[in-house]
Structure 1
């Protein structure tokens, strides 16, 4: 059994040295993400970013990245940052707002992801740290955030709480509209809908 674990650990380290991200290593070897993460952390190995995380130089037809300055100018405010707990689970360093709103995950001055929290920002982000078995988006982002933090990167959280509006007597959900507008206008590497 120890030989098998050593073989798996060696495979994890070899795949990471080839540039494969932790989540993909776990998928390829059929092991838990946490196992791959622990092996890499113990060996002080930083995984490569996933293809979705790499920025592509914008061309005339490509959407531009979303800079933090645009978020700040639009009313987003700092709300915290992602950290590892002593048990190596994702946590936010400060309490988050409970209001409905839009949140952005920011790295190196650019937004990687924006989302709407219709159940409240604190509750929505809780599920990124502890995703349920059927929460595909939460599980995917949990792995991406962990991968970035493992590479010693900081992921900051910014939030905005826009008001709901009315158009010709019909209700408009301010937060949902802001999220969709940002996704349509900007290249957000972690938003799957941003690619279209």
Structure 2
């Protein structure tokens, strides 16, 4: 008897597909396929296809400046182009650890966390290192916007660290991640996903 007939005979005797595969020493998928295309046995139940609604990707809302201000963000500085074409701040940024947001036309377009301090973190956008991909990318975006006479304001917040069930929580990192997860921030790569 060939293998296909053996599979069908065992199915006719009431064995399940997994038992047939074990009994004959073959792969489950092979036994299943033989039974699927051949005379179906009563031991193989047809799978009902249920039309379920397709999950749609959640569309994130933009982050308005009013929401940032209501959440404790304050205007700290504004990006400018120097006469040499370099990115500079109109006012030095605070040195505290915190969260910063680049705001254009009343909406946040980027949110970041400054664990080394806001002043140092923002400086790296003006003078990015060769391996700092995010800094290089944002340096380019900022220069492009400023060359078109657009204004990019920098709002900052310095949330306190806290505890959750006795464990430490970094306030700034948590706030940054929360904003990225909730709002559409066009310059944040993680916000798009």
Q: Which residue in 1 is equivalent to 2:142?
A: 145
Q: 2:76 aligns with which of 72, 75, 79?
A: 79
Gaps of 5+ in 1: 1-58
Structure with higher helix content: 1
Counterparts of 2:80 and 2:168 in 1: how far apart (Å)?
37
The two structures have a TM-score, normalised by structure 1, of 0.69
The secondary structure found in structure 2 opposite 1:162 is coil
Counterparts of 1:84 and 1:110 in 2: how far apart (Å)?
21
Rg comparison, structure with higher value: 2
Q: Which residue in 2 is equivalent to 1:88?
A: 85
Q: 1:110 aligns with which of 99, 107, 110?
A: 107
Q: CA deviation at 1:61?
A: 2.8
The two structures have a TM-score, normalised by structure 2, of 0.70
Q: CA deviation at 1:86?
A: 1.8
Q: How many residues align?
A: 138
C-alpha offsets along residues 124-151 of structure 1, whole Å, 9 cap, x if unaligned?
Answer: 0000000000000000000000000011
Q: 2:176 aligns with which of 179, 183, 191?
A: 179
Q: Which has the higher contact order (CA 8 A, sep 6+)?
A: 1
Q: CA RMSD in A?
A: 1.2
Gaps of 5+ in 2: 1-55
Q: Which residue in 2 is equivalent to 1:38?
A: none
**1:21-100 alignment runs, 5 A limit:** 61-100=58-97
Counterparts of 1:135 and 1:99 in 2: how far apart (Å)?
22
Q: CA deviation at 1:87?
A: 1.4
Q: Which residue in 2 is equivalent to 1:15?
A: none
Counterparts of 1:182 and 1:194 in 2: how far apart (Å)?
9
